Amino acid sequence: MITLAFKPTISGLSLGESSQVVLRMADILGQWERTPYREGCQVRGVGVDCVRFVCCFASDMYRRAYETLPQLPADRSLHDIEGSKAAMRLIVDLYRPRSVGWETEPLEPGDMLVVGPPGGGPGHAMVAGPARQLWHCMPAGVVRTGLQLKQTDWTLFRVYRVADKHTWA
């Protein structure tokens, strides 16, 4: 079991600014909650897949239009590891986050996690939301879970943090 450390505030922001961003983040994530899983779709309340959910969340926080993303096969992480890595690079290309070491730095609201099945490549994306929760799109739709990742279910590949969260206020 991987239990991720979490800090409820955002680096580089005052407590007031951090609180403002976290409240906005909670509102945006709440609007996505229970959106059904639909591969290749990115419409809040209608359908979304995991990578598109993370990208749409970030675009909502930046107040910018959603990017048109290429089709990503659902089983890519197990059968095409290099293709899966390229798909996950979309997050890096669109938002220019830096990788943080989850072993040494606690998660903070808005961090993006890239995970995958044991023995496969990176194939699933999540967002660290407020209140010690991970938000992601599963077959049941957009859900929130705790900060523990079962190692029998997930391998944690990277945690990304955008450097300009101050613009999210």
Confidence of residue 123 (pLDDT cuts 50, 70, 90): confident
Summarize the confidence of residues 93-118 as an average pLDDT.
88
Q: Which of 110, 107, 109, 120 is nearest to 155 (CA)?
A: 120
Minimum mean pLDDT among 61-65, 88-92, 126-130, 137-141: which range? Answer: 88-92
The answer, yes or no, to whether residue 75 has pLDDT greater than 70, is no
Dihedral angle, C-alpha 40, 46, 49, 51, nearest 10 °: 90
The answer, yes or no, to whether residue 59 has pLDDT greater than 90, is yes
pLDDT 10s digits, 23-33: 999 999 999 99
Greater confidence (70 vs 139) lies with: 139
Here the tokens at position 62 are 């930046």
Q: How far is CA 109 from the centre of its chain?
A: 10
Q: Is residue 119 part of a domain?
A: yes
| CATH code of the domain containing 97 | 3.90.1720.10
Q: Which of 49, 93, 94 is nearest to 71 (CA)?
A: 49
Q: Quick check: 142 and 34 in contact, CB under 8 A? A: yes
- Count how many domains the chain has: 1
pLDDT value at residue 166: 86
Q: Is residue 169 part of a domain?
A: no
